[in-house]
Amino acid sequence: MAFEQIKAEIAVLLQEMVNQPEDEHELHERLREKLAELRAQGLPVPADLVELEKRLDEDFYKAGA
């Protein structure tokens, strides 16, 4: 999958997180999958998305899920 397509899908996921916060866990998992795709293809992962991933992980584990 092309880098630009993955970036576009990530942008959609981020917008869904804003619009549908009740689905946060599912959206978090989908975001992690997209970032894993970038990493698997050896493509750069933007630093702001790496930071977001870390914050979401921290929030998830603090919630005890």
10 in Cβ contact with 30 (< 8 Å): no
HSE-CB at 35 with a 13 A cutoff on CA atoms is 18
pTM of the model as a whole = 0.74
- Output the pLDDT for position 1: 60
* Per-residue confidence in pLDDT tens, the chain, 65 aa: 688 898 889 889 888 888 887 887 888 888 889 999 999 999 999 898 899 889 888 877 777 65
User: What contacts 31, CB < 8 A, 6 or more positions away?
Assistant: 10, 13, 14, 17, 49, 52, 53, 56
